[in-house]
A = this chain, B = another copy of it.
Amino acid sequence: MKTADLSGYLIYPNPENPTLTSHVVGRDHTGKEVEVDVVTERGLTVYLNKQEIVTLMTLGDHPEYLALGFLLNQNMLRNDDVVTGIDYDEELEVAIVRTQRETNYEDKLKKKVRTSGCAQGTVFGDIMEKFDTITLNAETQLKTSWLYQLSRQINTTPSIYQKAGAIHGCVLCHQAQPLVYMEDVGRHNAIDKIAGYMFKHNISPEDKCFYTTGRLTSEMVIKTVQMRIPILISRSGFTAWGVDLARKAGLTLIGRAKGRKFVALAGFERLNYDADLSQIADEPKKSGRRNAD
């Protein structure tokens, strides 16, 4: 398949960055020596002002976006907070986010919920804090022709995944255009990097949709709703609670999106079946995208 046109992206993966993969020597199934690329995995300890919040295992690119997005998605950083600076020390693997507002999440840090799959390892405090109060934009549409264009473009965008596998991708999209494509060894980090990017560059979520390679668990749904993105699309499957929450929040939830097939389990009203299916190919065997994990 030919490579996607990257001109419409705001940001996309850089598989040429030598720090994101390493080249290792092993043996193949015949016993022959083989060289393979494997993805980098390193720690990043996030501080909010004086307080150590968490240590994340990450691919290592965009640490500032990751730190910002993690704190936002944990409701530790507010959308109206003034970030006075982010200090990142590559050697110490530390990112310190400084805000005008004084912060203290001692109590919140005590309460841990470990969530399913790759969505996110831990949420602190009450992840449902804001969930019930959020109304998603009902006007935002998803034309099926856009969905098929998105899949094709994302699958043909050069990525660390294509180079080394074992990594998740998340993409913020507007209609048929992928805008912000982040990858990480932890899918939760890819999402958080996008949240950080949106915060830093003041990108509004209401007219966007989210494309992910990972499963649609309760926690993926909660994060998408918290980010106020009304449409969530995945190549993977669903959990029952994820479906329940999507229906409660009025989120359009689409899974098992491969080739011309997909299944929508919530928010049907945003779907516009405009695509001429006779023109949509089934997914080629070498689509360059399987599931990461």
Among the listed B56, B144, B218, B263, which residue makes an inter-chain contact with A57, where contact means beta carbons less than 8 Å apart? B218
Decide if A261 touches B28 in the complex (CB within 8 Å).
yes
Decide if A29 touches B218 in the complex (CB within 8 Å).
no
Cα separation A104 to B104 with both chains bound (whole Å): 25
Decide if A166 touches B237 in the complex (CB within 8 Å).
yes
CB of A113 closer than 8 Å to a CB of B: yes
Decide if B168 touches A113 in the complex (CB within 8 Å).
no
Cα separation A164 to B238 with both chains bound (whole Å): 8
Decide if A30 touches B118 in the complex (CB within 8 Å).
no
Chain B residues near A199 (CB-CB < 8 A): none
Decide if A40 touches B240 in the complex (CB within 8 Å).
yes
Q: Which residue of B lies closest to A166 (CB)?
A: B237
CB of A201 closer than 8 Å to a CB of B: no
Chain B residues near A291 (CB-CB < 8 A): 290-293
CB of A58 closer than 8 Å to a CB of B: yes
Decide if A185 touches B116 in the complex (CB within 8 Å).
yes
Q: How far is the CB of A260 from chain B (nearest CB, A)?
A: 6
Chain B residues near A207 (CB-CB < 8 A): none
Within 8 A of B (CB), among A4-41: 21-22, 24, 26-31, 34, 36, 38-41
Decide if B114 touches A263 in the complex (CB within 8 Å).
no
Chain B residues near A58 (CB-CB < 8 A): 116
Cα separation A30 to B274 with both chains bound (whole Å): 10
Among the listed B56, B117, B268, B290, which residue makes an inter-chain contact with A168, where contact means beta carbons less than 8 Å apart? B117
Among the listed B110, B186, B216, which residue makes an inter-chain contact with A166, where contact means beta carbons less than 8 Å apart? B216
Decide if B217 touches A41 in the complex (CB within 8 Å).
yes
Within 8 A of B (CB), among A230-282: 236-243, 255-256, 260-266, 268, 271, 273, 277
Decide if B27 touches A239 in the complex (CB within 8 Å).
no
Decide if B24 touches A240 in the complex (CB within 8 Å).
yes
CB of A55 closer than 8 Å to a CB of B: yes
Chain B residues near A261 (CB-CB < 8 A): 28-29
Assuming the contacts A214-B293, A240-B39, asked whether A27 and B120 have C-beta atoms less than 8 A apart, the reply is no
Most chain B beta-carbon neighbours within 10 Å: one of A27, A56, A277:
A27
Among the listed B24, B122, B164, B265, which residue makes an inter-chain contact with A122, where contact means beta carbons less than 8 Å apart? B122
Q: How far is the CB of A293 from chain B (nearest CB, A)?
A: 5
CB of A121 closer than 8 Å to a CB of B: yes
Q: B-contacting residues of A (Cβ < 8 Å)?
A: 21-22, 24, 26-31, 34, 36, 38-43, 54-58, 109-110, 112-118, 120-122, 144, 164-166, 168, 184-188, 214-219, 236-243, 255-256, 260-266, 268, 271, 273, 277, 285, 290-293
